[in-house]
Amino acid sequence: MSNKNNSEFLPLLIAVAFAYFAFGAITNVAGAIIPKIRDSYQVSASLSAFLAATFFIAYGLTSIPWGMFMEKNSKKTTLIISSVITTLGVLLFAGIPGFVPNMAAMFLCGIGITGVQVALNPLVSEISDPQKYSRNLTAFMVINGVGSYLAPQLVTLIKNQGFDWTVTYWVFTVIAIIMTLAIAFPKYPIKIAGDKDEEARALDAGNISASAIEEARYHQALGPKKNLTLDLLLKNPLIYLYAVGIFLYVGVEVGVANTIGFYLQDKLDINSVLGDGAEAAKNTAISNYWGGLLLGRLVGSFVLDRIPGKTAIMIYISLAGLSLYLVMNGDINQALMAFPAIGFFISIMFPTIYSTATNSFTPEYSSAISGILCTAIIGGAVIGPAIAYVAEISQGSNPVPNWDAGLMLAFACYAYIFAVGFFAPSKK
């Protein structure tokens, strides 16, 4: 943020923080509800995973359109409209039970959350000092991690109170309404360019950051007809390195989270070991996975101030792979410790890949980069169901899927993410 009059944007900062919390909870509750979808609607593990995956299909279909919409409109308008859509999605999920209605509601939620994230990421850049952008984005992702951690625990709490698991989405409806109201009223930075005196006055008043003025100057120099998203896709192949990295990262992050309950239930037979306490233990394991991400992002804020992002990517993703190996080669207790370790070591991937991509191009492309990389979040719709499908086709005569075989896909994703860190250009 600008160093002057930061208090003017305090309500906006609080609203942004709550929005990150809200979309973290709504997005990452899936690991706790997927086994319930399988049991409630009597469908396969891969089909129940696909219902959750429709959320991420929406990212693939609407991220670039949201980015283009934001180029022509304000971030505030984008946030308000997308928050209203999110509210409608969670309300539909809560109000109309059934596999197909839930799938439609999940898709609508995905459309809304996509718009929220497409707008939030560059907004953080606009209200941050350039040298602190990666750290600030990581900090907001910590808040996102709090929502992710609490969501599975909410499912357990609701069940313990004697309610159906779908009541979770009534709670999310309230959260989405609060998010919509919170982002509708704060003061936003003003984007101006061309008038040096006006820019100086805006900076002195704390109404705009230097990075926002630089971005606006680029847009003015380009003129209104240049499509920055297409220009980036057609002329800058480096963006594909990052886009595939985000695709596989989100896919494996969500895929592993959505596999935890199945792995503990089918592979490690936690129901027999813990009896009535098994469901709470599974949801706690999922929460701890997201808690590992939360802790990792807290630590990552300091790590990224001290080592280059590309180096951090290679070190952290290697340790994530080691943690997954420990999951697959131990007992329940070892798995319950290793799953959170995976979360810890993949924690910095999204903000680090995102900020590395942003720093690889000129500021004019910030909105286009956000749209493209958020499109790549469709990986969450692919890797999770693929893990479940490979596990099912590999089970042979066994009564349960072979989750070890399915999780081999996770190792392949980790290998590519390592390559992103290796091949990303060093910051000049």
Question: In the chain, how many domains are there?
Answer: 1
Q: Is residue 302 part of a domain?
A: yes
Provide DSSP, 52-78: HHHHHHHHHHHHHHHHHHHHHS-HHHH
The span from the CA of 88 to the CA of 26, in Å, is: 13
The span from the CA of 137 to the CA of 359, in Å, is: 13
Give yes or no for a contact between 124 and 262, defined as CB atoms under 8 angstroms apart.
Answer: no
Q: Is residue 1 part of a domain?
A: no
The span from the CA of 57 to the CA of 176, in Å, is: 20
Average pLDDT over residues 175-183: 93
Q: Is residue 110 part of a domain?
A: yes
Buried b (16+ CB within 10 A) or exposed e, 288-314: bbbbbbbbbbbebbebbeeeebbbbbb
Task: Name, in order, each residue with C-beta under 8 angstroms of 187's C-beta and a sequence gap of 6 or more.
Answer: 8, 9, 11, 12, 207
Task: Name, in order, each residue with C-beta under 8 angstroms of 180's C-beta and a sequence gap of 6 or more.
Answer: 80, 83, 84, 86, 87
The span from the CA of 233 to the CA of 293, in Å, is: 31
pLDDT in tens, 85-113: 999 999 999 999 889 999 999 999 999 99
Q: Is residue 413 part of a domain?
A: yes
pLDDT value of position 44: 84
pLDDT in tens, 207-262: 445 555 555 555 555 444 566 667 666 667 788 899 999 999 999 998 999 899 88
In the three-class reduction of DSSP (H, G, I as helix; E, B as strand; rest coil), residue 207 is classed as coil
pLDDT value of position 270: 86
| pLDDT for 206 beyond 50 | no
Task: Name, in order, each residue with C-beta under 8 angstroms of 403's C-beta and a sequence gap of 6 or more.
Answer: 259, 262, 263, 266, 267, 387, 391
Q: Is residue 428 part of a domain?
A: no
The span from the CA of 21 to the CA of 178, in Å, is: 11
Q: Is residue 52 part of a domain?
A: yes
Backbone angles phi, psi at 236, to 5 degrees: -130, 85
pLDDT value of position 336: 93
- Long-range CB contact pairs, 202-209, < 8 A, 24+: 203/2, 203/4, 204/4, 205/4, 205/5, 206/2, 206/4, 206/5, 206/6, 206/8, 206/9, 207/8, 208/2, 209/1, 209/2, 209/126, 209/127, 209/128, 209/129
Q: Is residue 275 part of a domain?
A: yes
pLDDT value of position 198: 43
Write out the residue range of the structural domain in which residue 46 sits.
6-423
Exposed/middle/buried for 10, CB within 10 Å: 0-12, 13-18, 19+?
A: exposed
DSSP single-letter state for residue 263? I
| CATH code for the domain of 238 | 1.20.1250.20
DSSP single-letter state for residue 98? S
Q: Of 45-54, 188-197, 384-393, where does mean pLDDT reach its minimum?
A: 188-197
The model carries a pTM of 0.76
pLDDT in tens, 51-90: 888 888 887 788 878 888 888 888 889 999 999 999 999 9
The span from the CA of 83 to the CA of 26, in Å, is: 12
Q: Which pair of tokens denotes residue 62? A: 């609407």
Give yes or no for a contact between 33 and 99, defined as CB atoms under 8 angstroms apart.
Answer: no
Helices 309-328 and 278-303: crossing angle, nearest 10°?
A: 160
Q: Of 145-149, 169-173, 203-207, 220-224, where does mean pLDDT reach its minimum?
A: 203-207
